[in-house]
């Protein structure tokens, strides 16, 4: 029996609401794609969300009582489904990502044991996260109290942040051309 390929690693971007996590991820993605990475992103929405648009067919199907609605077209697929409880990032990786990405950039999950980049606005302690697995702190101002050996990078140093990620999560097959 052939062994299955290793699951892609998960890198969490954590920080307070409106700290710049989404913007940072958005800016890092093209840098990593240039290096040949196939990326998946998973966003944790701690306060719930609704992506479906009122009045659209998928919204109408869901409102009518369908537990799952899948919308597909050439090049896109979306699924809206009921879940009994919050689905963790590892379960999402196992069910939906598997071998279709080299790396998962997850926004949130600060309490999980995955490597993290913390985005801070004011001070290191504004996000309660342990130094274990902390790859970097990203801030637009000098910070006191950063754990020893953890680099503090400016959010505009996107190339430096991407390089750090590439060093930590090297391609299994090297960069693609």
CATH value at residue 43:
3.40.50.300
Let me know: does 152 contact 143? Beta carbons within 8 Å: yes
- Range 65-89 average pLDDT: 85
- Range 22-37 average pLDDT: 96
C-alpha pair distances (Å), 85 with each of 17, 46, 82, 91, 103 = 23, 12, 9, 12, 25
Q: What is the mean pLDDT of the chain?
A: 84
In a domain, 116, yes or no: yes
Domain residue limits at 33:
10-47+85-168
Beta pairing, strands 39-43 & 116-119: unpaired
C-alpha pair distances (Å), 126 with each of 15, 17, 55, 146, 167 = 8, 11, 40, 12, 27
Tell me: pLDDT of 107 over 60. Answer: yes
Residue for token pair 């710049």 = 20
pLDDT band at 133 (very low <50, low <70, confident <90, very high): confident
Tell me: pLDDT of 1 over 50. Answer: no
- With the C-alpha atoms ordered 90, 96, 101, 106, is the resulting torsion angle positive or negative? negative
Total domain count for the chain? 1
pLDDT band at 124 (very low <50, low <70, confident <90, very high): low
In a domain, 73, yes or no: no
Residue for token pair 């944790």 = 44
pLDDT band at 177 (very low <50, low <70, confident <90, very high): very low
């Amino acid at each position: 029996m052939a062994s299955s390929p290793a699951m892609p690693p998960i890198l969490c971007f954590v920080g307070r609401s409106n700290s710049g996590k989404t913007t940072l991820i958005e800016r890092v993605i093209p840098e990593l794609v240039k290096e040949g990475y196939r990326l998946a992103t998973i966003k944790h929405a701690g306060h719930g969300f609704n992506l479906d648009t009122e009045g659209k067919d998928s919204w109408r199907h869901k409102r009518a009582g369908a537990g799952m609605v899948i919308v597909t077209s050439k090049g896109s697929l979306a699924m809206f489904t009921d879940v009994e409880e919050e689905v963790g990032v590892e379960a999402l990786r196992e069910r939906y990502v598997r071998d279709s990405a080299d790396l998962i950039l997850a926004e949130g999950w600060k309490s999980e044991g995955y490597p993290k980049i913390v985005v801070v606005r004011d001070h290191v302690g504004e996000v309660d996260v342990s130094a274990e697995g902390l790859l970097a702190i990203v801030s637009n101002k000098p910070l006191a109290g950063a754990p020893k050996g953890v680099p503090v990078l400016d959010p505009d140093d996107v190339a430096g942040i991407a390089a750090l990620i590439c060093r930590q999560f090297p391609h299994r097959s090297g960069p693609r051309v």
